[in-house]
Amino acid sequence: MNDTPKSAGASKVIRFGTFELDPRTGELRKRGLRVKLQDKPLQILLGLLEKPGEIVTRETLRKRLWSADTFVDFDRGLNTSLNKLRRTLGDTAENPRFVETLSRRGYRFIGPLEFVRETVPIHNPAEEMVQSLAVLPFQNLAPSPEMEFLGDGLTESLISSLSRLPNLGVIARSTISRYKGISIDPQAVGRELGVQALLMGSVNQRGEALRVLAELVETQHGWVLWSEQYHRDLADLLGLEEEISQAISGKLRVRLSQEQKVHLAKHFTENSKAYTDYLKGRYFWNQMSQAGLEKSVTCFQSAIAKDPGYALAYAGLSDAYTLIGFIGMMGPREVMPEAERAVAKALEIDDQLAEAHASSAALRKLHAWDWAGAEAEYHRALELNPNYIYAHHGYADFLSALGRFEEALAEIHRAQQLDPLSLTIGNEVAWNWYMAREYRRALEQCRATLEIHADFPPILHTLGLTYAQMGRFRDAIDALQKGIDKVGNNPVALASLGHAFAMAGERQEAQRILTNLMTIAKSAYVPSYCFAVIYSGLGENDLAMESLDRACTDRDVWLVWSKVDPRLDGLRSDTRFENLLKRIGLAG
């Protein structure tokens, strides 16, 4: 029989976490095993438990621990006893689960309590279903830094595989990347990410020999639920990822249908060298730099040459071409057809591939302006893999571009749940608030993301745009200029700065940036949308419409934002602008 009175009754056992305390005997047990606790730490614990949730002052504890005529270094003695109590409970002052310190006021017991008349066995978390997991970066122990892709590639493959398991939330790659190469406390990381378990390990290669250590750790107490060491040839790397995924699904007690078991065990290629090339391709693609994207294309093409039936490699190649077009390394008419051919081949080989459907959706949105087809493809991708972060991210931008802001914000916040520490997702949340014209909310998100990385160029860009719409033009110019200082003369960033100057009435500075963009355009691709943004800020509507018309001819990817972009508001009453939206399929 259980009840929950405010304070501990003398006849009841007090349970908190995996601990049980019998106040009558002073006996503390953890998971049924007796734990040694000295008298003064015990008295502190009893004093706190008598008033759970309430502040107990240091003076109250002093009177409980020492009589008035006892000479003692009170502060030192109390601090020593508190530290011993925390060590016994596995607690810390910085991230307390049980004993909270309130500066200059005292202490408070903050853990949930249960009072029982008799001891009831505590459940073993290994026997409970885990519903949230993070795959931390596998440490590369190979002597050559060129093999860094092995640990990163295996990590990403496991994330991709495990994220397909039903009723399991798996944290995305960009959030866990911050833990690469550092020593971690599983309990602290679990609290930070809000997950019940961590999968972590290391990869070591010597010649053709491969050694992988993997372990599954529950985060409430830091217990190892499963650990295994694998010795394989490098050629067996492909089968190793499958073996680990199946072992983890069993330990997590995930109930799989026969179809799901088949999908988890599925090999996308039987060629180990093609698989290695694919891992390298994703490794370089994740760098999101011009040099990295060029290398990723080469690696994906190499994987396809080794296995022409490798659907994942075609999807990766499509993603690389799409990103090349999006960041302006090549013009859309030149690169997007290559991306379309690659994703069409991926879907021809395997129509059950979430990555390929998400890639197809992005191309239908950015290049084909097939809005209904894009939405259907996003739905299909998320049906196949509800945890696929790039599908949530892309679908949120799709909804925002159509003006469906409430749905867009719900989708990007779902992405943020899967990738809580991602700078990119943090920026996308701010971007969606900006496009919804919720500028204060956008500003709050910008500041929150900047607390993680104070010099992240995309969030500085979104911050500058937000300030400009709030009329804080000097703040806007400063933020945009700081971002440009980090990345160089990126046309998109320059256009936003030019627009901010124009809105601030500094027409000469806006014209200077226009001249700069025209110079860049002589030797590299510059989206015509960039010119339209500055001309719109200057009130040069004819020149802005001419630029948008060229953007239509070029299939400029930035046109997807033309329906909602606040920077084009000066053009919205122009019938030519309405006709432009009709051409794109965004009118109405």
- Rounded CA-CA distance 489/508 in Å is 18
Residue predicted with more confidence, 348 or 28: 348
Domain membership flag for residue 471: no
Residue predicted with more confidence, 511 or 24: 511
Domain membership flag for residue 367: no
For residue 123, the model assigns a pLDDT of 45
Among residues 334, 350, 366, which one ends one of the domains? 350
Do 131 and 263 reside in the same domain of the chain?
Answer: yes
Are 584 and 562 in contact, with CB atoms under 8 Å apart? yes
Do 314 and 330 reside in the same domain of the chain?
Answer: yes
What confidence tier does 387 reach under pLDDT thresholds 50, 70, 90?
Answer: confident
Among residues 242, 267, 292, which one ends one of the domains? 267
Domain membership flag for residue 528: no
Range with the lowest mean pLDDT among 68-77, 210-219, 572-581? 68-77
Work out the average pLDDT over 518-523. Answer: 94
What confidence tier does 183 reach under pLDDT thresholds 50, 70, 90?
Answer: confident
Work out the average pLDDT over 362-366. Answer: 95
Question: Would the pLDDT of 581 be above 90?
Answer: yes
Q: Which domain holds residue 317?
A: 268-350
Work out the average pLDDT over 475-499. Answer: 93
Question: Would the pLDDT of 11 be above 60?
Answer: no
What confidence tier does 129 reach under pLDDT thresholds 50, 70, 90?
Answer: low
- Name the 3-class secondary structure at 123: coil
Domain membership flag for residue 437: no
Range with the lowest mean pLDDT among 22-26, 110-114, 164-168, 551-555? 164-168
For residue 276, the model assigns a pLDDT of 83
Domain with residue 328: its CATH number is 1.25.40.10
Residue predicted with more confidence, 460 or 74: 460
Do 196 and 216 reside in the same domain of the chain?
Answer: yes
> What b/e sequence results for 452-469 when a residue is b if at least 16 CB atoms lie within 10 Å of its CB, and e otherwise?
eeeebbbbbbbbbbbbbb
Do 256 and 136 reside in the same domain of the chain?
Answer: yes
Range with the lowest mean pLDDT among 41-50, 181-190, 555-564? 181-190
What confidence tier does 10 reach under pLDDT thresholds 50, 70, 90?
Answer: very low
Q: Where are the alpha helices (DSSP H) in 286-422?
A: 290-306, 311-326, 332-349, 354-363, 371-384, 389-401, 405-418
Domain membership flag for residue 92: yes
Question: Would the pLDDT of 264 be above 90?
Answer: no
Domain membership flag for residue 554: no
Do 142 and 90 reside in the same domain of the chain?
Answer: no
Question: Would the pLDDT of 155 be above 60?
Answer: yes
- Rounded CA-CA distance 553/549 in Å is 6
| Range among 182-186, 257-261, 286-290, 305-309 with highest mean pLDDT value | 305-309
- Name the 3-class secondary structure at 19: strand
What confidence tier does 31 reach under pLDDT thresholds 50, 70, 90?
Answer: low
- Rounded CA-CA distance 405/84 in Å is 52
- The tally of domains found in the chain comes to 3
Work out the average pLDDT over 286-297. Answer: 83
Judge if pTM exceeds 0.85.
no
Residue predicted with more confidence, 433 or 100: 433
- Rounded CA-CA distance 554/571 in Å is 20
Question: Would the pLDDT of 476 be above 90?
Answer: yes
- Rounded CA-CA distance 458/443 in Å is 14
Question: Would the pLDDT of 507 be above 70?
Answer: yes
Q: What is the dihedral of CA 293, 299, 303, 304, to 10 degrees?
A: 50
Tokens describing residue 135: 């795959």
For residue 4, the model assigns a pLDDT of 37
For residue 119, the model assigns a pLDDT of 47
Best CA proximity match to 157, nearest among 281, 33, 342, 307: 281
Domain membership flag for residue 234: yes
Domain membership flag for residue 193: yes
Question: Would the pLDDT of 8 be above 50?
Answer: no
Q: Please tell me the number of Cα atoms within 13 Å of 370 on its side-chain side.
A: 12
> What b/e sequence results for 289-328 when a residue is b if at least 16 CB atoms lie within 10 Å of its CB, and e otherwise?
eeebbebbbebbbbbbebbebbbbbbbbbbbbbbbbbbbb
Do 150 and 200 reside in the same domain of the chain?
Answer: yes
Residue predicted with more confidence, 119 or 193: 193
Among residues 247, 267, 287, which one ends one of the domains? 267
Do 274 and 332 reside in the same domain of the chain?
Answer: yes
Do 111 and 183 reside in the same domain of the chain?
Answer: no
Whose tokens are 């033309």? That residue is 562
For residue 269, the model assigns a pLDDT of 83
Do 282 and 262 reside in the same domain of the chain?
Answer: no
Tokens describing residue 245: 């995924």
- Name the 3-class secondary structure at 522: coil
Do 246 and 132 reside in the same domain of the chain?
Answer: yes
Question: Would the pLDDT of 5 be above 60?
Answer: no
For residue 258, the model assigns a pLDDT of 58
Question: Would the pLDDT of 260 be above 60?
Answer: no
Do 80 and 211 reside in the same domain of the chain?
Answer: no
Question: Would the pLDDT of 135 be above 80?
Answer: yes
Cα 250 to its chain centre, rounded Å, is 26
Range with the lowest mean pLDDT among 141-155, 183-197, 211-225, 269-283? 141-155
Question: Would the pLDDT of 32 be above 70?
Answer: no
For residue 128, the model assigns a pLDDT of 56
Do 254 and 301 reside in the same domain of the chain?
Answer: no
E strands present in 171-315? 197-206, 209-218, 224-233
Work out the average pLDDT over 213-233. Answer: 81
Question: Would the pLDDT of 1 be above 50?
Answer: no
Question: Would the pLDDT of 56 be above 80?
Answer: yes
For residue 528, the model assigns a pLDDT of 96
Domain with residue 162: its CATH number is 3.40.50.10610
What confidence tier does 72 reach under pLDDT thresholds 50, 70, 90?
Answer: low
For residue 554, the model assigns a pLDDT of 93
Domain with residue 103: its CATH number is 1.10.10.10
Residue predicted with more confidence, 462 or 233: 462
